[in-house]
Structure 1
């Protein structure tokens, strides 16, 4: 069972190690990344939590997707409610990512100065495509599909064409290219070095998930599509 579930995951682990090293070196070179505290907890604590959040989320998705896709493990144990149960935990984990980056950014606020003209320009440039991508996911792609229902019902979804409307007209992966712009906003708004660093960590790490978990699964489910 584990062979198919952990296929390509040695590359996942290697990329994660590189990201850890990058964060560590950034802190060494810019110690003000760890300035501040919030609710009695240091910025370092919030930073660690903000790093663990996407790791727990993506490992959860890896296990659920692959165990269901190849072995119907969740359906065998939870029946027709398998996707519902999976989706509830997924929702908590995906929401934890921006929440913890927000708390980290508040903890480390004002550790970076951004000129006002650039401050507002960056916010607008991140906000517009980020919101449009979320709208496109809701209208054209569907949140169930974004959560990975095709892993639970591959025999249905492998007959449905891939989406090419909304943001998906410009990129086949609007969620990871543009929706993740929103996770940068807390770091920019609160002018937080730590918030920006962890936004970069999250954004790069979602691509690790894409290339070494999601893309192989897409090829398995959709074939030549």
Structure 2
């Protein structure tokens, strides 16, 4: 018997949806991904309809829903959270919140076979959302906390070689610490979180009992309060 999990994301300038089907050990994923700045509300649900139609199922066939819970764009996170919570609540199925940084690390691992990864997303205001990962066998293991810091304050564990940086935060490359830059073999600033990896992560979480009631899953902003500097 097949089980289905839908994932959606609007945490960056891109918008994406993915549907994963599991039957025994077999996995199949259908996905949509578009760069749609300021058009997430127009494209997200049509993408959901597209992958469901391609799979030949109705929403009632879903066993769970996952979404990119952050960190990322405040507006995008709220859009995805509202859509995911609405779907899960209406279908009476569990919801899984997936870290956008974990999904980004898994994408880099699956696409390029990187193992020691620093993810960084541009958080604006001269800061990045960042975390450090060790990836193996399609699993991204976080080595430290997800934080929002200035690029020059991003640090690496000393015991891993050959670090690779991925994510929009590395457009601020010149602002990172020289020691960190010397520890990296390369950095890719054009990768963005995708619902495809969130579907794989979400399915694993669901199968391990990680699904929650929709009301219990909330966006992760990291920066909950924006401090405005008053003129002296």
TM-score range, shorter chain: under 0.3
Using structure 2 for the length normalisation, give the TM-score: 0.27
RCO higher in structure (CA 8 A, sep ≥6):
1
Using structure 1 for the length normalisation, give the TM-score: 0.27
More strand by share: 2
More helix by share: 1
